[in-house]
Amino acid sequence: MTRLQESESEAKADGETASDSESRVEAATLPPSADDTPEVLNRALSNLSSRWKNWWVRGILTLAMIAFFFIIIYLGPMVLMMIVMCVQIKCFHEIITIGYNVYHSYDLPWFRTLSWYFLLCVNYFFYGETVTDYFFTLVQREEPLRILSKYHRFISFTLYLTGFCMFVLSLVKKHYRLQFYMFGWTHVTLLIVVTQSHLVIHNLFEGMIWFIVPISCVICNDIMAYMFGFFFGRTPLIKLSPKKTWEGFIGGFFATVVFGLLLSYVMSGYRCFVCPVEYNNDTNSFTVDCEPSGLFRLQEYNIPGVIQSIIGWKTVRMYPFQIHSIALSTFASLIGPFGGFFASGFKRAFKIKDFANTIPGHGGIMDRFDCQYLMATFVNVYIASFIRGPNPSKLVQQFLTLRPDQQLHIFNTLKSHLTDKGMLTAATEDK
């Protein structure tokens, strides 16, 4: 009898779609937040039909967000860093709130405090690691900062441990499982959100172009895939997101690659985008001023015979960076959407429509940033592997902390290496 009941429930569940059970279950579990669309928009669009109204709201908000993006780019790296920080905190907040709603754990003792405390600890650790590199001279000057940076890992670990011990002490008898779930939830969220945001900041310091081009490619891919899907969409792409189509996917891919090429061509001309961000001790601010590296200098490339006949040009002048931008756009269009599918799966798993209702028509901040997850990590890994090696000034700093015999050993090895390469001769050494 019991087996029959179970198979009966399976059969019934087969027949209905996720949305059906969702509407009954969701209504009971996760009441949707209030509609956040501003009144002015509501009134302006009140006479349009619901579908067009939604389209207009989305369109207007998209333009508003893009304009906002341009404004903060104009304001400079410091403001960008702060925006990244705010987005990170808001994403963390959104995901943790979902966790609370799923597990009804809003009243668990200590847990809200602990989640924010862990966020603070992990951010402290990461900012300490990056800031020490970039603000090295400033840090060495100020005595308390110097001690904080010397024992940074130890201090961060102690802070984390305190949180861990508080968690253990806060375990309450009948809520163990819930507390462990929230602990795991918090840590996975930190892993996703905080590490990615710090990689974004690393990319930003490498040069604003490494921040702007990837993000724009992802946004462009989103929009282009939507448009191509809207006009030409026919074959569904993946069961997870029924609205995505193969036509949108492929069209978005080509459009994004072209967009990436154009955008990098335009941006590579300006120093403020291309130079690494540095902290100037004298003016106590960030500067982006340098001699552009080989990547950002126009070079002649021979066009392969195939394309020569089509375009009629023998050579083309481009920046080497544009070749890299092809790699970035390809990743953004082919693998980036997996981040979006992951988020869709997550929303279906927990029966939520959007992460939050922060942006009218679009959902929460996480909804906008889901495809960016993997992009930041990819760009960082790409830069580390193909563009630049380790940071020379950081290496010198590390060298200076070694023991004298180790320093001598390294110096001699370097010397023999350079001599082998022919870089170091008796003549150059004398200079």
Partner 1 sequence: MWELRHRGGGGPGPGGEAAAPPREGEAAGGDHETESTSDKETDIDDRYGDLDSRTDSDIPEIPPSLDRTPEILKKALSGLSSRWKNWWIRGILTLTMISLFFLIIYMGSFMLMLLVLSIQVKCFHEIITIGYRVYHSYDLPWFRTLSWYFLLCVNYFFYGETVADYFATFVQREEQLQFLIRYHRFISFALYLAGFCMFVLSLVKKHYRLQFYMFAWTHVTLLITVTQSHLVIQNLFEGMIWFLVPISSVICNDIAAYIFGFFFGRTPLIKLSPKKTWEGFIGGFFSTVIFGFIAAYLLSKYQYFVCPVEYRSDVNSFVTECEPSELFQLQSYSLPPFLKAVLRRESVSMYPFQIHSIALSTFASLIGPFGGFFASGFKRAFKIKDFANTIPGHGGIMDRFDCQYLMATFVHVYITSFIRGPNPSKVLQQLLVLQPEQQLNIYKTLKTHLIEKGILQPTLKTDGCCGQLVSSSKA
Name which of residues 191 to 250 contact partner 1 (CB under 8 A): 191, 238-240
If one asks whether residue 302 binds partner 1 (CB under 8 A), the answer comes out as no
Closest CB 188 distance from partner 1, rounded Å: 5
Burial class (CB in 10 A: 0-12, 13-18, 19+), 186: buried
Q: Name the one residue in this structure whose structure tokens are 């690494």.
A: 276
Stretch that binds partner 1, among 50-58, 312-320, 353-361, 422-430 (CB under 8 A): 422-430
Q: How far apart are CA 79 and CA 154, in angstroms?
A: 30
Burial class (CB in 10 A: 0-12, 13-18, 19+), 36: exposed
Tell me which of 64, 78, 414, 425 binds partner 1, using CB under 8 A: 414
Our CB check for partner 1 shows the closer of 77 and 189 to be 189
Structure tokens at 319: 């920046």
Tell me which of 52, 70, 180, 230 binds partner 1, using CB under 8 A: 180
Tell me which of 46, 49, 309, 401 binds partner 1, using CB under 8 A: 401
Closest CB 57 distance from partner 1, rounded Å: 29
If one asks whether residue 59 binds partner 1 (CB under 8 A), the answer comes out as no
Q: How far apart are CA 366 and CA 88, in angstroms?
A: 9
Quick note: the x/- pattern for partner 1 over 255-294, rule CB under 8 A, is ----------------------------------------
Our CB check for partner 1 shows the closer of 55 and 181 to be 181
Q: How far apart are CA 349 and CA 369, in angstroms?
A: 19
Closest CB 381 distance from partner 1, rounded Å: 5
If one asks whether residue 173 binds partner 1 (CB under 8 A), the answer comes out as yes
If one asks whether residue 106 binds partner 1 (CB under 8 A), the answer comes out as no
* Side-chain half-sphere CA neighbours of 261 within 13 A: 10
If one asks whether residue 184 binds partner 1 (CB under 8 A), the answer comes out as yes
If one asks whether residue 326 binds partner 1 (CB under 8 A), the answer comes out as no
Q: Name the one residue in this structure whose structure tokens are 């015999």.
A: 405
Q: What pairing do the DSSP bridges indicate for beta strands 285-287 and 236-238?
A: unpaired
Q: How far apart are CA 30 and CA 114, in angstroms?
A: 23
Quick note: the x/- pattern for partner 1 over 140-169, rule CB under 8 A, is ----------xx-xx--x---x--xx-xxx
Q: What pairing do the DSSP bridges indicate for beta strands 278-280 and 285-287?
A: antiparallel
First to last CA, the chain: 93
Closest CB 397 distance from partner 1, rounded Å: 9
